[in-house]
Structures are given as C-alpha cells and as structure tokens.
Amino acid sequence: MYLDEALIVELRKNNQLALKQLYKVNYPMILSLVMNNSGTEQEAKDIYQEAIIHFYEKLQHAEFVLTCKIKTYLYAVGRKLWLQKLAQRSKFVRIEEVEPVAGLEDVATEIEARESTFQAMEGALGKLGEPCKTILEDFYLRSLTMDQITEKFGYTNAGNAKNQKYKCLQRLKKIFFEERAR
Amino acid sequence: MSMNPRELEQLENYFNQTLAADERAALENRMSGDAEFRRAAEEHFDFLKSLQEYSIQKQLRENLDQIHEEMLTSEVEREEPSRGWLKTLWPSIAVAASVALVSTLATYFTLRYYDNEHQTQYQIVSRKVQKIEKSLDKLKNSNNKKPEVAPGNYSGSGFLVSANGYIVTSYHVIKSADSVFVENDKFGRLKTTLVYGNASSDVAVLLINDDSFKRPVTVPFSVRASEGSIGEPVYTLGYPREEIVYGEGSISAASGFEQNENAYQISIPVNPGNSGGPMIDQQGAVVGIINGVQTSVRGTAFAIKSEVLLNELKNIPADSLSKPLRLNNQSQLYGLSRVNQIKKLKDFVFIVKVYNSK
C-alpha cells in the first residue's frame, strides 16, 4: 500500500499498481454516495471513473498540487458531479460536504466538457467507416508506425499509406466538428 | 481552407514539437502573415489535441473497466483433467475430438437410463412448448398482431453468472438443441453457443454470442461454495410461463432423487420450464440449480448443488472458453430484503429457448 504522497509520485509515473490501488480503495465511498442518493451502481461507476480520469489528468500537470487527502479530493469531485447529474434531472438533494476542497467550483462543467469532446470523437470515428477508422486508430491510439500500417493494409508504399491517412484525418476532422457542434 | 498532406504533416509535427527548426520558423512566418492559413492551422491543432486526449482517455477507460471487473470478480481457476498421454501423442485438436466422442456416448447412455427407468417417477422440468403453441397461434391470428418469433421446441431457465455473457442452465434443457436462444425483458432475445455440458451432473454453460448483447457492468449472482443446510429458506426465479415466476420453499434433504449426492431435495413448487433456474439463499447467493420433480410424491423437487456447479466450472477445458469466466467474489445482495434482491436478480434470469429439427 502506498501512502498518499508516494501514490501520487507513482501515478505520475503511470504505475499500473498504483492506479489499481487508487481505484479499489476509493470506489466504495463513491458507490455509497451515489447509491444512497437515488443512483444506480452503473451511475456510480460512471461518476467514479470520470472523477478518477479527472484526477489522473490533473496529476499529469506538474504544477498541480493536492492540498488535501486523495480521498477527500475524489469525494468532493464525485459529489459535485453527482449533484450536477441530479440537477439535470430536476432532482435536488442535499449531499453532505464532508470537507470543502478549494478550486473545484467549475469542476463538474469542466468534466462534462471533456466528456462531450470524448463522445464527439467516438461518434465521429464510428461514422467514419473503414478502412479509415482502423488506419487512424492504429496510428493515433495503438501507436503503430506508418510502415506497419503500410504492410497491414497492403499499400504499395509508405507514401500511399500516408496520403490515405491524411485523407482520413481530414474526413474525421470534418465529422468531429459537426458532432461537437450538435 | 483545405490542406494538402504535406501541410498536414508539417502541422502535425509542429503540434508534436518534432518539426525541424528551419521548417518551424517558416511555418510560424506563414501563420503570422496569412490569416486564413492561421485560422485553419489553429483549428487543426484543436482537432489534434482532441484526438490526442481521446486516445489517452480511451486507453485509461479500458484500463479502469478492467480494474473494476477485477475488483468485483475473480476468474474461475481451471483444474485441467490430466490426460497427459493423449496430449503428448496427439495434437490438441485430436484430443478435443476424442473427448467429444467419449462424452457423446456417455451422454447418450445416461439419458437413456433416465428416460427409460425413471420417467414415471422422476421428471425433468424443461417445458415442451408445442402444446401451448397452437392455442397461442389461435390467439395471435385473432388479433392481427405482428408475427412473433417461433417459441422454440423446449424451454427452460438460465442465469447470467459472468458479465461477459456466460449463462448457466440445466444440461437436459439444451441437450438436443440445434440452436439455443436466451431472452428476457432487460436484454431481449440473444443467440448463444454451448460452451460446456455434462449429462451426469446436469449442468450446462452457454455463452451469449450476439452482437446486440450489451454487457452489464456486473452481475448480481455469486455462487455459494459451502453446502446448504436442511431447513434453509430458499427461492427461485424461472420461466414456467413466458413471464418470470417466483417460487419459495426450503431445503428438505441433503440428497436428491435416489440418494443423489449432487442434489438437494427442495420444497419449492416447480413446474416444467423451471429447469435451469437459480435457487437462491437468504443472502442472495446461488445455492443450487432447479433440476426436476418427483412425480410420485407431490411437492417434491430437486436442485443440483452449487458446489457441483463450481466444480463443473473449474472443469471446463480452457480452450472452450473464449473469454475468461469470472464470478463475483461476494454476493452483492447481502442485507437486502427479498423483494429488493429479486428486483436486482430478475434482469439476469433468462428463458432458455431450444430449437431442434426433430
């Protein structure tokens, strides 16, 4: 078990064990937060993962300094997110704020914006069609080299593959901006 | 403004900070002089940033989903039966084929045995659908509804034990199937493939094999490893009709029909169609699989013990499992009232519909 400071150091190094520990230790807290306030297990999982992703991304910025315990921070983010979800359903409940955390005023909006960009990209990739979708995912998600892609898709040379990739990228960009504007 | 591949490559390298110094200077120069190009470039950077963040998040999300599943479940540990001499002599395909042949013969005789000698007293409770089918047809024709899918030749019940699609049912429900579908209100109608079946224990495992299956995060069922006690209250959910039906009772005896050590005698009212349904204890864990009734004694039914199920799951050859079979570490229903347990469980109990040409 890592203590908070060590855990943060390890998370910044993308240590998988540290991520597992972070996830497993704090889940029950958010599960009961959501389930005790008219949410389901699925919703608890979604909220929790958004909070974890948010925290993880914050940690990737060197200037981010945690001024409270990790547990307190995740609870505060989870609480804000869940209150916002409930408010969107015109449900207003009081969920106790255990310990106020500074700098989280806009966190729910920030996370929602990130989520909707994510969904726009996912939607755009879904509409893109083959072979574009796989070519772009191979390159940008799975970090295959252009040579590997050339061979995998049977292009005669790397130049052709590259041209195809940029054509696909242009198409994706167009659909992505359309999706995001919706 | 549309850009050519060369320009896009430059912009991408600029974004990734891998552009050579002289090219970078030229590009910055162009951006400051050409407003239209600058706007297009900035839009492209915005897009590349979204794509990059998408990629990072996508991987993180997959990672978190996996951690989540690991947290709540554990993979059933294989206990490979030792068939060493075969393995060293033959390639694994030959092994699989010979095992299949042996088990087919064994199945045949065991079933015959049941069919001939016990039919009068012991009745397995899968449901023959044809009888009702006719009257249903009449009903349907009379009120011009859309034609529904054929109801299948036999039906039983089954339950989802692993969120990625493994369903447990009774072997006798699916034994002569050409194809097996499972269905309920929550998940709709799904095609399955048979992963494992054992006639002597009457346990079968199906895997949902259908693109429309939207896997749940978790399943509520856990399978109890300890033996149930006589007098313990238990209940079942199953499909003796097209609708899910609840039945309750208790464990009456620690052995089944003719001292079968693999089964319990139970006092749950069981009807054809209940076969393969889960028998659940007070904590919400599966303690048995509904199996049959004794026709000569009223109100006497049987359920295969959950320990037998666990053993069978361990015995499934690893190469039959295309995905890991993961069971819950603990019941997620502990402490809930029965009504609330049922609310959570019912979505994970299925009607098992069997089709065959015979």
The residue out of A67, A84, A105 marking a domain boundary is A105
Query: Which of the residues B51, B58, B72 would you substitute to probe the A interface, choosing the one with the greatest number of A C-beta atoms within 10 Å?
Result: B51
Answer yes or no: do B53 and A117 touch at CB < 8 A.
yes
Answer yes or no: do A166 and B8 touch at CB < 8 A.
yes
How high is the pLDDT of residue B280?
95
For chain A positions 115-134, those within 8 Å of chain B (CB to CB) are 117-118, 120-122
Least CB–CB distance from A53: residue in B9, B50, B60: B60
Question: Do both A90 and A167 map to the same domain?
Answer: no
| pLDDT of residue B119 exceeding 50 | no
Question: Do both A136 and A174 map to the same domain?
Answer: yes
The stretch A74-103 carries a mean pLDDT of: 85
How high is the pLDDT of residue B86?
44
- What CATH number is associated with residue A149? 1.10.10.10
Shortest distance between the Cα of A26 and any Cα of chain B, in A, equals: 12
Least CB–CB distance from A140: residue in B51, B63, B68: B51
| pLDDT of residue B353 exceeding 50 | yes
Please give the single-letter amino acid code of residue A65. Answer: V
Answer yes or no: do B71 and A27 touch at CB < 8 A.
yes
Give the pLDDT confidence of B136-168 residue by residue, as tens digits: 454 444 444 444 455 567 789 999 999 999 999
Answer yes or no: are the C-beta atoms of A21 and A7 closer than 8 Å: yes
Give the pLDDT confidence of B72-115 residue by residue, as tens digits: 888 887 765 554 444 444 455 555 555 555 444 333 332 323 33
Answer yes or no: do B55 and A41 touch at CB < 8 A.
no
Q: What is the mean pLDDT of chain B?
A: 81
Q: What is the mean pLDDT of chain A?
A: 89
| pLDDT of residue A6 exceeding 80 | yes
How high is the pLDDT of residue B152?
64
How high is the pLDDT of residue A1?
64
Question: Do both A96 and A13 map to the same domain?
Answer: yes
Least CB–CB distance from A23: residue in B8, B52, B67: B67
Question: Do both A32 and A100 map to the same domain?
Answer: yes
Question: Do both A68 and A95 map to the same domain?
Answer: yes
Query: Which of the residues B46, B50, B56, B348 would you substitute to probe the A interface, choosing the one with the greatest number of A C-beta atoms within 10 Å?
Result: B50
* A-chain residues near B43 (CB < 8 A): 173, 177
Question: Do both A95 and A116 map to the same domain?
Answer: no
Question: Do both A36 and A77 map to the same domain?
Answer: yes
- What CATH number is associated with residue A39? 1.10.1740
How high is the pLDDT of residue A5?
84
How high is the pLDDT of residue B81?
54
Whether the CB of B335 is below 8 Å from some CB of chain A: the reply is no
| pLDDT of residue B132 exceeding 60 | no
Answer yes or no: do B217 and A163 touch at CB < 8 A.
no
* A-chain residues near B52 (CB < 8 A): 140
* A-chain residues near B186 (CB < 8 A): none
For chain B, percent of residues with pLDDT exceeding 90: 41
Assigned token pair, A151: 């061979």
* B-chain residues near A47 (CB < 8 A): none
Question: Do both A15 and A29 map to the same domain?
Answer: yes
Question: Do both A9 and A97 map to the same domain?
Answer: yes
Assigned token pair, B278: 């889960």
ipTM: 0.89
The stretch A36-40 carries a mean pLDDT of: 86
For chain B, percent of residues with pLDDT exceeding 70: 78
A–B interface: beta-carbon pairs under 8 A: 72
Answer yes or no: do B52 and A140 touch at CB < 8 A.
yes
Among chain A residues, CA nearest to B53: A118
The stretch B313-326 carries a mean pLDDT of: 89
Among A164-178, B88-102, B246-260, B335-349, name the one with the lowest average pLDDT: B88-102
Calpha distance B40→B34 (Å, rounded)? 10
The count of structural domains within chain A is 2
Question: Do both A83 and A15 map to the same domain?
Answer: yes
How high is the pLDDT of residue B103?
45
Question: Do both A154 and A86 map to the same domain?
Answer: no
Among A97-106, A128-137, B214-223, B277-286, name the one with the lowest average pLDDT: A97-106
Domain that holds residue A63: 4-105
Between A25 and B79, the more confident residue is A25
Least CB–CB distance from B64: residue in A49, A162, A169: A49
Whether the CB of B57 is below 8 Å from some CB of chain A: the reply is yes
How high is the pLDDT of residue B23?
87
Least CB–CB distance from B54: residue in A52, A118, A163: A118
3-state per-residue secondary structure call for chain B: CCCCHHHHHHHHHHHCCCCCHHHHHHHHHHHHHCHHHHHHHHHHHHHHHHHHHHHHHHHHHHHHHHHHHHHHEEECCCCCCCCHHHHHHCCHHHHHHHHHHHHHHHHHHHHHHHHHHCCCCEEECCEECHHHHHHHHHHHHHCCCCCCCCCCCEEEEEEEEECCCEEEEEHHHHCCCCEEEEEECCCEEEEEEEEEEECCCCEEEEEECCCCCCCCCCCCCCECCCCCCCCCEEEEEECCCCCCEEEEEEEEECCCHHHCCCEEEECCCCCCCCCCCEEECCCCCEEEEEEEEECCCCCCEEEEEHHHHHHHHHHCCHHHCCCCCEEECCCCCCCCCHHHHHHHHHHHEEEEEEECCC
The residue out of A105, A129, A160 marking a domain boundary is A105
Calpha distance B128→B244 (Å, rounded)? 17
Shortest distance between the Cα of B294 and any Cα of chain A, in A, equals: 41
Question: Do both A8 and A60 map to the same domain?
Answer: yes
Least CB–CB distance from A162: residue in B5, B53, B56: B5
Least CB–CB distance from B47: residue in A56, A163, A173: A173
The residue out of A105, A121, A145 marking a domain boundary is A105
Whether the bond between B317 and the residue before it is cis, its omega within 30 degrees of 0, is no
Q: How confident is the model at residue B6 (pLDDT cuts 50, 70, 90)?
A: confident
How high is the pLDDT of residue B93?
52
